[in-house]
Amino acid sequence: MRSLQREPGLLLALLAVIVLVCVFILYPQIRVIITPGTGYIDFLSGGTWIRSTSQSIQVMVLSTTTAVLLGFVFAYAMVYTDMPWKPFFRLIGILPLLSPPFVVAASYLILFGPRGLITYGIFGQTISVFGLGGIWGVQTIAFFPFAYQLIADVLSRSDARLEQAARNLGAGPWQVFRSVTLPLSRPGLGAAILTTAIYVLEDFGNPALIGGTFTVLPTQAYGLISGFGDLPGATAVSTLLLALALILYVAKIRLDGGRSFITVSGRASSMPRPPVPVVLTWACFVACLLLAVVILTVYGTLLVSALTLNFPNNLSFTTKHFEYITSDVNGTALQNTLIFGVVAAAFSAVFALVAGWLVERGSWPGRRVLDFLLIMPAAIPGLFFGIGYATAFNEAWLDWLDRGVLIIISMIFWNIPVGYQAAVAGLRQIDRTMDEAATSLGASSLRGFRDVLIPMLGGSISVGFVTTFVRAVTTLSVVIFLFTSGTTVATIRIFQLVTHSSPAAGSPSGPPVPSPSALQSLDAGAVHLRLAHVTKRFGDTAAVDDISFDVPRGSFATLLGPSGCGKTTTLRMIAGFYDPDAGDIVLGGRRINELPAHRRGTAMVFQDYALFPHMTVRGNVSYGLRLAKVAKDELARRVNETLDFVGLGKLGDRWPNQLSGGQQQRVAVARALVLRPEILLLDEPLSNLDAKLRVQLRWELRTLQQQLKMTFVYVTHDQDEALSLSDWIAVMNAGKVEQHGAPWEIYYRPKTAFLADFVGAVNLVPGTVREVRGGQATVQFGERSVTVPVPADTSLREGGEVKLCVRPEALGLAPRGATTDGAALPGTVARKAFLGDLMRYWVTIDGREWIVDQPDPGASTPLDGEVLVQVRPERVHVIAG
């Protein structure tokens, strides 16, 4: 909610979406549902709803299953295989989208009806195709393209590296498909199943033409209104349909399972997909070919019918039938259809994209309610969506509103779920670091959405626009009660003509207030960043639990810890991507808790770099400056200087996927540095590189930091990286800071056993304090004891349990019988390992293994057997507890 308060533009956009949804989606349906009468009681007591509901469910399951299966096979073949004729199949696959669904039923009757061209003309059989079988076959062909487009969009975005990784681990093609490809396609499958099932449920035209006496809920509702004027009864039917759709929506949520399906990040990849077995490729080809034959037969029949005098009795060629397209009412209907469809598709696609972004990327309360309202039109039969508009906006004070405008508005908001689901599916596969990268470079949320996300959502926008346009120009049920003679559309005319000639015509029936006391002692000159009692919870889990520390100005500061310790969450709170639930974050003397991320003066380098794949190197680096409206000459100068500074001066015109991992990392750093931020945040930027390159870039980062004298806050789990790079380290564990300070202090004077064990190799030997006197403590371990120096203010007490912390390099090693200085412990070499610059020994002493490191192993003969381990008391650190 805080981000909305910080960005008025974002708040206005959200309010506009909410108002439009309430006025044009929620309000019309409420007007229908609250229509007075006893329709609900009469409908339920009559019992006819049981049959129509069960038959609707039966059709939904059958048609959805076959349509989604066909859509998945088609999508898989188009995305994964290298089979021939793919452009041809793609064209064939969209044909059902380009016509009203009930036109497939009309063609089906011509081919397979009682006097059908195939059933009667070829086989001499009079077969009834009316009923369940006819509806099932027609809806499968009519609706599989919707499933195909949604699934193909998701499959095409999946990261080939994941499948290649599975193949590399020994998985066969089927195992890769089952364990990687299929799970990655779940967002598309979920959207496809939901969308197709609801399309089938609310389909009116196909059951009206070919259903016969097999009554489903939409045809029953239409019969109640058109035949009996029973609006309350029809409202009861719509309530049943809405209930079924809600069940589907809940099933989709469970299908998604709350898992992350992010496979697109800012890190470019040009890796090809694993090859598909030849047998599978040809199986896909045969399946697509058979489907293409069916579709071509269906639409070819319509085309031949249009070009012959009297199909199939007189096949003489003619074009006179096309004269009807532009004549009188048909010409008006065609013109209205195109205008209404284009306008509705454009507005619906844009609105759905904005709404999807606000819901999917937002964290404001109530967004799930808006999500439900945006998907709700898909659950509302088009008949009643149109009735809702006719009822809600049939007011005297709205007489000035043209009925054509009302039809356009109804098309926009009835089709919102199509573009919305496409937008959400696309957004879920774009890593949030892309948004955060834009924000860290100075973009507001709206600006980052415009500049970064929209160019990357071209596929989702196209799916939303094309699908919405097709649904708008092919819809029948929404407009059947809205049109007038001057605003009729093509689907109305087609339905009127088809039902007039069809044999089946007429047969259907807030966080706490921060304390200013935390800021009083801040010296902005010495301390650059301060966190005071900062806490962040996710549900009942405290990811960061009351941490406090100061980062010196101009230092290379590192947050070090194991996975899940809270270090990245802490960094993201500093950046402004997360709001702390308690505590204060102070940068340069100013409290920044309430500042939006793009106004904090920070810049961030992400783990996967978050390079914008649709921008060149120069475009990535200049993006933040363009947001800041830096003059062109100054912008070019700073970009060139920064690229030269990181050694990429000659690569400015390359795309991210043309760069090596190290070069991509330099671009990410340059993009942040060019802004001259007050502080640079780095989230494990080297973790994806090979060991040698990681070491090289480690020193490049350190050199950059020293040259710029800029404060770096670096997150890593690599102890060597932290120790070698840092001026200051904070080690985190389970949401708390175990200790912070200089690297040598963390390494040699750890305060806890966890810290000693986490940072480097160590010997932790349990013991008991026997005496504390004069800055020294005598500690007994086993049958032995050692006297070690301790601070004057030590909290050690006689009898207290402690652990002796001894680093391997602080120990000496000599053959048994040799003369040694200090305490010498007899032991036996259990094993040893050559590590290049040292030899590491594991020596058993009194049943416990000690690690001993000996430098320059080439200077002496490796030891075996009985040895003496020399303990230097001044190098032993005592940890209480």
Residues 789 and 773: their CA atoms lie apart, in Å, by 10
229 and 334 together in one domain: no
Same domain, 647 and 723: yes
Tens-place pLDDT, residues 94-114: 888 777 766 777 787 778 776
Nearest CA among 186, 197, 102 for reference residue 146: 197
* C-alpha separations of 616 from 604, 644, 655, 658 in Å: 19, 16, 4, 10
Give the domain CATH number at 862: 2.40.50.140
User: Do 272 and 364 lie in a common domain?
Assistant: no
Q: Say if 457 falls within a structural domain.
A: yes
Give percent above pLDDT 70 in the chain: 84
Between 180-184, 580-584, 659-663, 710-714, the lowest mean confidence (pLDDT) is in: 180-184
pLDDT at 231 over 80: no
Q: Does 222 share its domain with 99?
A: yes
H or E stretch covering 21: helix 8-21
Beta bridge partners of 828: 844, 866
In a domain, 169, yes or no: yes
Each residue of 268-314: pLDDT tens digit? 455 567 778 888 899 999 999 999 998 888 888 878 887 887 666 67
Helix (H) or strand (E) holding 557: strand 556-560
Domain final residue pick, 722, 748, 774:
748
Q: pTM of the entire structure?
A: 0.63
Provide the number of structural domains found in the chain.
Answer: 4
> Is the same domain home to 721 and 782?
no
577/639 same-domain check? yes
Pairing mode, strands 811-815 and 866-871 = antiparallel
312 upstream amide cis, omega within 30 of 0:
yes
pLDDT at 19 over 90: yes
Reported confidence tier of residue 618, pLDDT bands at 50, 70, 90: very high
What is the model's pLDDT at position 637?
Answer: 92
Placement of tokens 């490809």 in the chain? 181
Closest listed residue to residue 218, CA positions, set 158, 305, 139, 334: 139
CATH number for 219: 1.10.3720.10
The model's pLDDT over 366-377, given as tens digits with 9 standing for 90+, comes to 888 998 888 878
Assess if residue 753 is contained within a domain: no
pLDDT surpasses 90 at 266: no
Looking at the fold, whether 410 and 286 belong to one and the same domain comes out as no
The rounded distance, in Å, linking the Cα atoms of 493 and 325 is 10
My answer on whether 688 and 567 are in the same domain is yes
Same domain, yes or no, for 430 and 498? yes
Q: Looking at per-residue confidence, does 820 or 875 come out higher?
A: 875
Residue 580 burial (CB count, 10 A)? 23
Q: Please check whether residue 755 lies inside any domain of the structure.
A: no
Residue whose entry in the numeric block shows the structure tokens 């902005």: 524
Which among 467, 457, 430 has a CA at the least distance from the CA of 192? 467
242 and 287 together in one domain = yes
* Residue 754 included in any domain: no
Q: What is the pLDDT of residues 513-527, one digit of tens each?
A: 333 333 333 344 478
pLDDT at position 409: 92
Domain that holds residue 626: 516-748
Both 289 and 350 in one domain: the answer is no
Q: Is residue 276 part of a domain?
A: yes
pLDDT at position 510 over 60: no
Distance of CA 701 to the CA centre of its chain: 31
Query: Looking at the structure, do residues 494 and 528 belong to the same domain, yes or no?
Result: no
Domain end marker among 318, 343, 375: 318
For the segment 344-372, the average pLDDT, to the nearest whole number, is 88
Predicted pLDDT of residue 597: 82
The strand pair at 801-806 and 728-733 is best described as: unpaired
Burial class (CB in 10 A: 0-12, 13-18, 19+), 525: exposed
Q: What is the pLDDT of residue 346?
A: 92
